[in-house]
Amino acid sequence: MNTKLSKKKIGQRIAGLRKMKGLSQEELSKKVKLSRPSLAQIEMGNRGVDILELQQLSLILGFSLDDFMSKDFVAGQAYEDDKPISPEGSEERISAPTFNAHKFKNVLLYILEKCAGKPNVGETVLFKLLYFADFNYYEMYEEHLTGAKYRKLPFGPVPQNFDGIIMQMVEKGQLQRVKTDYHGYPQTRYLPLEKADLTELKASEKETIDRVIDQMSDWSAVVISNYSHKDMPWLASKDGEEINYELAFYRDAPFSVRNYGDETEEQ
């Protein structure tokens, strides 16, 4: 058996076979006794498959191991090119996000305008509000809101380069950093000193942010952190590594913000 296939190619083939069998990720993961995040990582080419897992997959998906590992294997033409498989089985939507610092600052100011007066909204809650605004918008519209990159850290997703952005905004008099005490714990808060430029936000972007604020801005740091830990992008990412926006398309209720209709079973 030739085992020189890349993890990406193996993931593409498994995703293609799963879809041809009409199985959702949830259904296949249960049959092979893998977690759904692990299966998602395999299909995206971020995780390898050991021989026992591959044997189990071959029994359920009905393929020969020798054929599967062959360079001539065909599981349906749609899955046999070198393009990455997206979570819905279509071509890759968008390349790596491009960070829009100006948009990020305006989103941050807008959230703070709405939430800075709430005693629970310290840095931990703010990080989650930014994360869900970015990932919900990407799932809904297949476009990036701010393009910020988030890393999986113990207390939840954290936007990279946040401290640098905050330093710039403090120096320009756009916001103020305040150290407080909240229920006996130290808390870092941010107070807006100017209003967001709403001309920089499309109606769909503002609507997405408002929904996140309405749903989560009253949650405590513990509650919103625990909630973020159950979101598929978090679950399927490795500790300390960047969280892939494409994982938003693997979400289930209550995290998914998009009505996939007939596509739901393909997630």
In DSSP notation, 53-79 reads: HHHHHHHHHT--HHHHHSTT--S-GGG
Residues in the chain predicted with pLDDT less than 50, given as ranges, are: 1-2, 76-95, 262-267
Tell me how crowded residue 29 is: count the other CB atoms within 10 A of its CB: 19
In order of 109, 137, 139, the CA distances from 202 in angstroms are 15, 11, 16
Residue-level pLDDT at 73: 72
Residue-level pLDDT at 101: 93
Which amino acid is it at 78?
A: A
Contact 200, 192 (CB under 8 A): no
Residue-level pLDDT at 92: 43
C-alpha span between 73 and 64 (Å, rounded): 10
Give the domains, in start order, of the chain with CATH numbers. Answer: 7-79 (1.10.260.40), 101-266 (no CATH)
Residue-level pLDDT at 261: 53
Residue-level pLDDT at 112: 97
Which amino acid is it at 140?
A: M
Residue-level pLDDT at 62: 79
Token pair of 26, please?
Answer: 């949830």
Q: Which residues pair with 176 in a beta bridge?
A: 191
Residue-level pLDDT at 68: 82
Residue-level pLDDT at 66: 76
pTM confidence score? 0.68
Element holding 187 (H helix, E strand): strand 185-192
Phi, psi of 182 (to 5 degrees): -130, 110
Residue-level pLDDT at 82: 37
Q: 102-114: b or e for each residue (b if 16 or more CB lie within 10 Å)? A: ebbbbbbbbbbeb
Residue-level pLDDT at 88: 42
Which amino acid is it at 173?
A: G
Which amino acid is it at 21?
A: K
Residue-level pLDDT at 2: 47
